């Protein structure tokens, strides 16, 4: 059902939703940005519409809400493993089309690739998504090339217009929270980005692509900071970490923490073996995963074209440029 | 909270500990359940962490772990005594599929701790030699002090065709010296089309041993390898073990070389 309601009424509804849901949305945090004097836009719990940043792209993706940076898997007491208490409230997350497509990628790994991940499943069972339409394309976005500029896969679509809010309610349960005049409208979505990416067909990726000189540019330029992975809406790697508490060494916890394939140590094994020592090889590993290897395994591309990796890189390395180079290389070789 | 938490380990009792070298012990753990040679478990101690360890022996009511002390978790594991418990979850990975080797001339080449994951196969073939057309075992260690499973090697030496070599040794050492690759040509192969060659060890050892067999005319399809990569989950989630579109923990660690030769780090 599509309706129009006033901001005031919308906030009242949000307030009522707050009894059952924790509501997360992109919020501008003053002077926390990558570059000096810029805001950082990250996911935070909100109570009112005005707290939400609608006009800019979030620097971090909504991934941090459903797949926390650090997640406790177990608490240890003496010789017992104890699971953390279940979160009682459900989740409502405001996000854009590409990010909804990104959730499908997270589902693929955490629910489909091997056994189901119970911690992810638990969050996933309670989360509902609110689509923020995109009025315009942002810097570095290439969602149109990736086919992730549009989605129908949301519980609630939101379009603020002046003092009014247009809502496209698809979820029965949410119908009970929002009351307004029925009004037809279309959700915004972009149909073109400044940045366009051409992805090589699988057969255009040469068997010896790892030897291509293209990667060597990144040996020096990439400083292996891992920012590109952390802001990426589709990166899902983690490492396990056990700790014990300083004040009581008998107790501790096992956690998982986001990990980055660009950072030193990702492949280190006992015996001193490691792989991809050159940063350019890590770039290759990441880029090929996003537009080739994942596709080979699951049948669609991992990257959703959100452009956050390019936004975040301190070395101004452009992922989209790299994919285009890969495409040109594939053409040459044909 | 969670019906089946795949990250929740179970307790397993240490039944016996065998010390092979200063840094390598085998732990016999109480365990009932289906396990294949080449599969692995995540073994853990709360507050220290988990690590993937292959099964090096499989019995009705036990599994063996042969653990090398190299860091945080393995240092701690080595402090445990008979009667203590480890936390384990698994088994993970595909393991060796014994039907692939039935009625074939089986050749196993193991380097160092690579003997652990294939020891289960050796045990099976040792018990049922008639099921196989022939069996050769070629094992290499760094030095005489690094030799694992000395007792078993003695028995195997009597019952099986075994070549045991060390990379280097003092002058008075009477055994064979040299890398395993130097002994590949000493193995008699009756029928190139009916061999099954299993190679497990450090990356460089596997690379050169595979090449030596290919050079002898063995087809890629008749060679199997087991790969080791960094693993944090064992169940296809953490991403660390991935080589191109392949997850070593799920699709491996055992691969036919016709597949393995295409894998890229
Ligand atoms: C599928 C699979 C099966 C395995 N099976 C076995 C097995 O049967 N038995 C077994 O012992 N191990 C096995 N391993 C390896 C084992 O998992 C690692 O040794 C273990 O994770 C190390 O954990 P740790 O916490 O003790 O070491 P960490 O504290 O993580 O320290 C290890 C790190 O220290 C460094 N390091 C450690 N030792 C050395 C060294 N000798 N030389 C140089 N650098 C070193 C390395 O950089 C390494 O990353 C297996 C691994 C995999 C993936
Ligand atoms: S590509 Fe950029 S953001 Fe990513 S690791 Fe390299 S320097 Fe850091
Ligand atoms: S690789 Fe870059 S553009 Fe693609 S999903 Fe990740 S952050 Fe977004
Ligand atoms: S070990 Fe985590 S994905 Fe394979």
Alpha-carbon distances of A91 from A22, A116, A277, B62, B184, rounded to whole Å: 5, 20, 40, 45, 61
B10-92 CATH fold: Elongation Factor Tu (Ef-tu); domain 3 (2.40.30)
**pLDDT grade for B187, boundaries at 50, 70 and 90:** very high
Q: How far is Cα B67 from Cα B145, in angstroms, rounded to an integer?
A: 16
Strand order in the sheet with A70-77: A80-82, A70-77, A248-258, A238-245
The conformation of residue A67, written as its DSSP 8-state character, comes to S
Which atom of ligand 3 is found nearest the CA of A232?
Answer: 7
Mean pLDDT of B194-218: 95
pTM over 0.95: no
Alpha-carbon distances of B182 from B168, B206, B225, B256, rounded to whole Å: 13, 13, 19, 23
Contacts of A143 (CB under 8 A, 6+ apart): A97, A98, A137, A149, A190, A193, A304, A305, A306
Q: How far is Cα A84 from Cα A176, in angstroms, rounded to an integer?
A: 32
Q: What is the dihedral angle through the alpha carbons of A242, A71, A107, A62, rounded to the nearest 10 degrees?
A: -140
Q: Which residues of A touch B14 (CB under 8 A)?
A: none
Q: Which CATH class is domain B98-228+245-260?
A: alpha beta
Q: Which residues of A touch B245 (CB under 8 A)?
A: 293-294, 296-297
List chain B domain ranges.
10-92, 98-228+245-260
**pLDDT grade for B143, boundaries at 50, 70 and 90:** very high
Contacts of B203 (CB under 8 A, 6+ apart): A273
Indicate the top mutation candidate among A223, A318, A321 to test ligand 2's pocket, ranked by most ligand atoms within 8 A of CB: A223
Q: Which residues of B touch A272 (CB under 8 A)?
A: none
Mean pLDDT of B47-71: 94
Q: How far is Cα A74 from Cα B51, in angstroms, rounded to an integer?
A: 16
CB A155 within 8 A of CB A171: yes
Helix, strand, coil: what percent of chain A each, to 5? 35, 25, 45
Token pair listed for B125: 């073939």
Q: How far is A296 from chain B (nearest CA, A)?
A: 6
The pLDDT assigned to A31 comes to 60
ipTM of the complex: 0.92
Q: How far is Cα B164 from Cα B176, in angstroms, rounded to an integer?
A: 7
Q: Nearest ligand, CA of residue B229?
A: 1
Assign residue A125 a region (left: φ > 0; alpha: ψ between -120 and 50; beta: otherwise).
Answer: alpha
Residue with tokens 């000395």: B150
Q: Which residues of A touch B1 (CB under 8 A)?
A: 83-86, 122
B240 CA → ligand 4 middle, Å: 5
What is the CB < 6 Å shell around ligand 1?
A: A 268-272; B 40, 49, 51-54, 66-68, 70-74, 113, 116, 228-229, 231, 253
The pLDDT assigned to A133 comes to 94
**Across the interface, which of B2, B232, B265 has its CB nearest the CB of A83?**
B2
Contact check, Cβ <8 Å, A261/B239:
yes
Q: Which of B74, B240, B246 to mutate to test the interface with A (most CBs of A within 10 A)?
A: B240
Contact check, Cβ <8 Å, A84/B1:
yes
What is the percent of chain B where pLDDT is above 90?
A: 89
A260 CA → ligand 2 middle, Å: 10
Contact check, Cβ <8 Å, B245/A74:
no
Mean pLDDT of B40-60: 94
Contact check, Cβ <8 Å, A74/B8:
yes
Using one digit for the tens of pLDDT, what is the confidence trace for B15-38? 999 999 999 999 999 999 999 999
Pairwise pLDDT comparison (A34 vs B247), residue with the higher score:
B247
Q: How far is A304 from chain B (nearest CA, A)?
A: 18
**Across the interface, which of A83, A114, A271 has its CB nearest the CB of B235?**
A114
Q: Whose CA is nearest to atom 8 of ligand 2?
A: A225
Contact check, Cβ <8 Å, A243/B47:
yes
DSSP string for residues in B153-203: HHHHHHHSEEEEEES---TT--SEES-GGGGGGGS--S-GGGEEEEEESSH
pLDDT values of chain A reduced to their tens digit, one per residue, 334 residues: 999 999 999 999 999 999 999 999 999 987 665 555 566 899 999 999 999 999 999 999 999 999 999 999 999 887 788 899 888 899 999 999 999 999 999 999 999 999 999 999 999 999 999 999 999 999 999 999 999 999 999 999 999 999 999 999 999 999 999 999 999 999 999 999 999 999 998 888 888 888 899 999 999 999 999 999 999 999 999 999 998 888 888 889 999 999 999 999 899 887 778 899 999 999 999 999 999 999 999 999 999 999 999 999 999 999 999 999 999 887 775 5
B142 CA → ligand 4 middle, Å: 29
Question: Over 70: is that where the pLDDT of B85 sits?
Answer: yes
What is the percent of chain B where pLDDT is above 70?
A: 99
A117 CA → ligand 1 middle, Å: 25
Q: How far is Cα A272 from Cα A68, in angstroms, rounded to an integer?
A: 31
């Amino acid at each position: 059902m599509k309706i129009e309601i006033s901001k005031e009424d919308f906030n009242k509804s949000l307030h009522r939703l707050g009894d059952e849901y924790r509501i997360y949305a992109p919020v501008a945090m003053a002077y926390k940005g990558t570059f000096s004097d810029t805001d950082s836009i990250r996911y935070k719990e909100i109570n009112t519409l005005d707290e939400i940043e609608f006009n800019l792209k979030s620097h971090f993706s909504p991934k941090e809400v459903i797949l926390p940076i650090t997640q406790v898997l177990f608490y240890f007491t003496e010789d017992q493993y104890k699971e953390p208490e279940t979160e009682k409230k459900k989740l409502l997350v405001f996000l854009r089309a590409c990010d909804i497509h990104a959730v499908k990628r997270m589902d693929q790994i955490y629910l489909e690739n091997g056994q189901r991940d119970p911690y992810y499943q638990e969050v996933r069972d309670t989360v509902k998504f609110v689509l923020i339409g995109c009025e315009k394309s942002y810097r570095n976005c290439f969602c149109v090339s990736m086919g992730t500029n549009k989605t129908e896969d949301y519980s609630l679509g939101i379009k603020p217009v002046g003092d009014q809010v247009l809502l496209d309610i698809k979820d029965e349960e949410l119908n009970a929270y929002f009351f307004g005049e029925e009004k037809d409208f279309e959700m915004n979505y972009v149909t073109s980005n400044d940045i366009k990416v051409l992805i090589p067909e699988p057969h255009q990726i040469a068997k010896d692509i790892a030897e291509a000189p293209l990667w060597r540019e990144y040996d020096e330029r990439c400083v292996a900071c891992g920012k590109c992975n952390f802001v990426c809406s589709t990166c899902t790697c983690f490492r396990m970490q056990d700790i014990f508490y300083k004040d009581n060494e008998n107790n501790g916890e096992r956690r998982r923490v986001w990990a980055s394939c660009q950072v030193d140590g990702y492949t280190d094994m006992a015996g001193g073996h490691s792989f991809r020592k050159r940063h350019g090889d890590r770039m290759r590993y990441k880029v090929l995963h996003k537009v080739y290897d994942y596709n080979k395994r699951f049948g669609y591309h991992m990257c959703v074209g959100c452009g956050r990796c390019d936004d975040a890189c301190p070395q101004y390395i452009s992922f989209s440029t790299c994919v285009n180079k890969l495409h040109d290389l594939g053409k040459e070789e044909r | 909270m969670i019906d089946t938490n795949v990250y929740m380990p179970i307790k397993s009792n240490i039944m016996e500990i065998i010390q092979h070298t200063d840094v390598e012990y085998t732990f016999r753990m109480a365990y009932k359940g289906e396990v294949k040679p080449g599969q692995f478990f995540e073994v853990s101690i709360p507050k220290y962490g988990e690590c993937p360890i292959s099964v090096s022996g499989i019995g009705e009511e036990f599994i063996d772990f042969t653990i090398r002390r190299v860091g945080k978790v393995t240092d701690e594991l080595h402090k445990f005594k008979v009667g203590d418990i480890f936390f384990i979850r698994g088994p993970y990975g595909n393991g060796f599929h014994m039907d692939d080797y039935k009625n074939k001339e089986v050749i196993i080449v193991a380097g160092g701790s690579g003997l652990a994951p294939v020891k289960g196969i050796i045990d099976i073939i040792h018990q049922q030699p008639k099921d196989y057309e022939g069996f050769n075992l070629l094992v290499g260690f760094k030095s005489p002090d690094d030799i694992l499973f000395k007792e078993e090697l003695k028995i195997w030496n009597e019952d099986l065709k075994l070549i045991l070599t060390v990379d280097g040794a003092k002058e008075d050492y009477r055994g064979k010296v040299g890398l395993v690759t130097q002994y590949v040509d000493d193995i008699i192969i009756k029928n190139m089309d009916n061999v099954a060659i299993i190679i497990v060890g450090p990356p460089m050892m596997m690379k050169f041993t595979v090449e030596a067999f290919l050079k002898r005319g063995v087809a890629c399809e008749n060679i199997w390898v087991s790969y080791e990569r960094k693993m944090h989950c064992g169940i296809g989630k953490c991403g660390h073990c991935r080589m191109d579109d392949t997850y070593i923990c799920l699709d491996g660690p055992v691969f036919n070389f016709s597949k393995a030769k295409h894998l890229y780090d």
